[in-house]
Structure 1
Amino acid sequence: MAAKKEIAVIGLGKFGYALAKALTELGHSVVGVDINPEYVRRAQDIIAQAYQADATDEKMLGQIGIKDLDRVIVSTGDSMEASILVVLNLQAVGVKNIWVKAISEAHERVLYKLGVPFVVFPEAFVAAQMANRLTAPGLQEYFGLGKDVAVREIIVENWIGKTLRDLNLTNKYQVQVIAFRLAGDSEFHFVPQADRALKAGDVLVLLGRTEDIMRVDKF
């Protein structure tokens, strides 16, 4: 079982609300932020705390104490400019673990250039999954590998300078590194080299049983 976390969701529209609700159901403490009072009212009976506030206001983010939370997810609707401003404000107040919902490929590229470690483009992801399932019978979606199988992304922090051979994750944890993304890049690469030294901000994609994959630490 994953450790319970304190997570902020900025933007409580359809995606943000559904995410906040799912995180709460998993036992995490969720702080929601949105400028729309209707969205805040809808969420306040479901999540731990809901604030009606403008997340593009850096001072407001500091007052909420958002930098003390484990993770912050930005889902600000259809405004690329607002999303980028919120990210810059979060970075300014000291938030490092930022996840962002992108609305376009251009938005995704900019976010990675800003140093955002995790970016999700839901529409493109779902469309690609559906296209693959429709045109290639028998091909399973990335996360449809069984109830006890998971895929996890890990940002390289304490593994700087180590290689996959040094980490020996397959033998230690029974998980496999199936892909990687270089720090600052938006594209993933597959079949990672065992002897390449890892750098800060690189992302490793692990595949394995849920129980095993959640045991992997960042020694």
Structure 2
Amino acid sequence: MAQFAVIGLGRFGSAASLELMRLGHQVIGIDSNSKFINRLADQLSHAVIADATDELALQELDIAGCDAVLVAIGENLEASILCVLNLKNIGVNQIWVKATSKAHHMILSRLGVSRIIHPEEEMGVKVAQALNYPMVSQYMALGNNQYLVEIDVSPRLEGHRIDELLADGAAFVKVVLVKRRDKLLSPVATDFVLERHDSLILAGSLEILKSLAPKLS
């Protein structure tokens, strides 16, 4: 179990806070708006009304000991930047920040935060990918144009062997594992026969995965 602080409890910050709680972690929620704090007070480990642009206020909350701090402040660019500077001054090492513009991103890059998040942009990409490849239930970019994708086995694919489906790209795609109900099956032989409701986890380049998409739909 880790401990996180989330600063800014609007829609994005509250969703992140509640998911971290669901995953079994401790979460300190911080916002200057009492309405947001009251809404989440009974659902977080701690919920505190505080001004994140005040370094002393952050020091008093002792969040330097958290495993990471997520700055989810919305459209107030100045408040977000001041908050990051304060976190660095009090010794927070892992700082994740929601960026709202290119200028905001550039400033955060210069400040050397651990990770910059563009939630609307990232969600837009995920939605576009889902529309373009409806057979892909999850995907994750690994860098250098390599992706990890989870493909739900449709009734049409039931009874097919993996090497039949991946014949054109088998040399360039790695079958990581197969999820079958509550089991994770790995390693996976090329002659493995798929069943309905299996999930196939593949790794490979975007180009190869695109070329295989028609066979997997």
> Taking structure 1 as the reference length, what is the TM-score of the superposition?
0.63
Does 2:81 align with 1:81?
Answer: no
Structure with greater strand share of residues: 2
One-letter identity of the residue aligned with 2:90 = V
Question: Percent same amino acid at aligned positions?
Answer: 40
One-letter identity of the residue aligned with 1:140 = V
Deviations 1:141-194 (A, max 9, x none): 7xx04xxxxx59xxxxxxxxxxxxxxxxxxxxxxxxx32xxxxxxxxx547xxx
Question: 1: CA distance between counterparts of 2:43 and 2:134?
Answer: 38
Structure 1 unaligned runs (5+)?
146-150, 153-177, 180-188, 192-207, 212-219
Question: 2: CA distance between counterparts of 1:76 and 1:46?
Answer: 20
> Taking structure 2 as the reference length, what is the TM-score of the superposition?
0.63
Contact 1:8 1:31 in 2 (8 A): yes
One-letter identity of the residue aligned with 1:44 = A
Question: 2: CA distance between counterparts of 1:71 and 1:88?
Answer: 15
- Judged with a 3 Å threshold, the aligned counterparts in structure 2 of structure 1 residues 30 and 190 are, in CA distance, closer, same or farther, namely same
Question: 1: CA distance between counterparts of 2:110 and 2:82?
Answer: 14
Match runs of 1:102-121 below 5 Å: 102-121=99-118
- Judged with a 3 Å threshold, the aligned counterparts in structure 2 of structure 1 residues 24 and 140 are, in CA distance, closer, same or farther, namely same
Corresponding residue of 2:16: 19
Q: Shift of residue 106 of structure 1? A: 2.3
Corresponding residue of 1:33: 30
* Alignment root-mean-square deviation, CA: 2.3
- Judged with a 3 Å threshold, the aligned counterparts in structure 2 of structure 1 residues 139 and 84 are, in CA distance, closer, same or farther, namely farther
Match runs of 1:139-218 below 5 Å: 140=136, 144-145=138-139, 178-179=142-143, 189-190=144-145
Structure 2 unaligned runs (5+)?
147-175, 178-183, 185-217
Runs of 4+ in 1 over 6 A off after TM superposition: none
